[in-house]
Amino acid sequence: MDFKLTEEQLMVKDMAQRFAETEIKPKAAKLDENHEHPAEIVKQMGELKMMGIAVPEEYGGGGMDNVSYVLALIEISKACASTGAIMSVNNSLYCYPVMAYGTLEQKMKYLSPVAAGEKIGCYGLTEAGAGSDPAALRTSAVRDGEEWIINGEKKFITSGNVASYGVIAAITEKGKGYKGISSFVIELENTPGFKVARVEDKLGINASGTAELVFEDARVPADALLGKEGEGFKQMVTTLDGGRIGIAAQAVGIGRAVLEEALEYAKTREQFGKPITSFQAIQWKLADMATELDAAELMTFRAAWLEDNGKPYEKAAAMAKMYASDVTMRASVEGVQILGGYGYCKEYPMERHMRDAKICQIYEGTNEIMRIVIANNLIKGK
């Protein structure tokens, strides 16, 4: 078994690490405090091909693999989880479905500018009554000549407040459940009847906007349909599988930041005349963090490798997302504990890491849903 990274993968990791340390990390606290979208950072990431790493170069992307994507996303999320969330959605939830299911014309129009970082993409699935159960979607799309008329509301859409394009799920045939769902790729900036209703005030990832999208008799061209009518659920499942790899990487990045900062603090913090790293209680916390984060990272690489090699990865992606987010949540709580009072104050980034970590257990499918996905695969013998 070879765990060695290729020269190209190492190059991507080093580039992302340098960029994250110099351009993102020094600004992360202010971005979080001000709930500010990191527009200039995202633009620079586009120039470095990080907004569409696995998209072929002819469509504006980096032409790399998903392992490279994971390596880069870990480094970006380590510096700022909000920026990692924007990067993850752009790559996994927008670029992937347009690349996988779009026509040549759709790829040139809707994929290239987003993969190049010139525009931002979002993914519109969740609704007030449809999150874990996509069959409960109420957003509808009705064909009217050479157009589709879309009505409905989408909730908790990452980057929805700044996105120029969106992949939106809607019911095109009522009464058919999952088989009645279709996907549309929509130019949000120029669609009459579309608006951003609100941007949520959240616990964490505050520099990443989470918006409510409203469609009121919004008319989009007939060729906005992504793939074939009724194939939206199948597209959705595969897209979310890849998205879970991205969230696992984001979680690992947050966890790495927690471990580094907890270790650095523990080495310099003295109690009873010696650094607290000399106390077994602290040593065990650090050891558990390091061990679990290494395991989570390896699980994430495995899922990305399976996707790159055309092998089934649904179970591996769910396992990586579930485990990495649970591990990172535990690590962040322990990180605050190690820093004590300082860990509870905004003077140190540890409290931000704990706030940011929590969402990884929720979005891209809650960890309860991940356990169902894993169990279903086991029962089916996959």
Find residue 153's DSSP bridge partners: 214
Q: Tell me how far apart the alpha carbons of residues 286 and 266 are, in angstroms, rounded to a whole number.
A: 10
Specify whether 264 is catalytic.
Answer: no
Query: What residue type is assigned to position 250 of the chain?
Result: Q
User: What does the block give as tokens for 150?
Assistant: 């879309």
Residues sharing a CB contact under 8 Å with residue 128, sequence separation 6 or more, in sequence order: 153, 155
Q: Tell me how far apart the alpha carbons of residues 358 and 248 are, in angstroms, rounded to a whole number.
A: 12
Q: CA 52, 370, 317, 81 torsion: positive or negative?
A: positive
Q: How many CB atoms lie within 10 A of CB 150?
A: 23
Q: b/e string for 98-114 if b means 16 or more Cβ within 10 A?
A: bbebbeeebbebbbbbb
Find residue 181's DSSP bridge partners: 171
Residues sharing a CB contact under 8 Å with residue 262, sequence separation 6 or more, in sequence order: 285, 286, 289, 334, 335, 338, 339, 350
Q: Tell me how far apart the alpha carbons of residues 334 and 355 are, in angstroms, rounded to a whole number.
A: 13
Question: E strands of the chain, at which residues?
Answer: 121-124, 140-144, 147-158, 165-171, 181-187, 194-199, 210-221, 225-226, 270-271, 274-275
DSSP string, 297-319: HHHHHHHHHHHHTT---HHHHHH
Q: Among the options 8, 47, 364, 368, which is catalytic?
A: 364
Cite the active site residues: 364
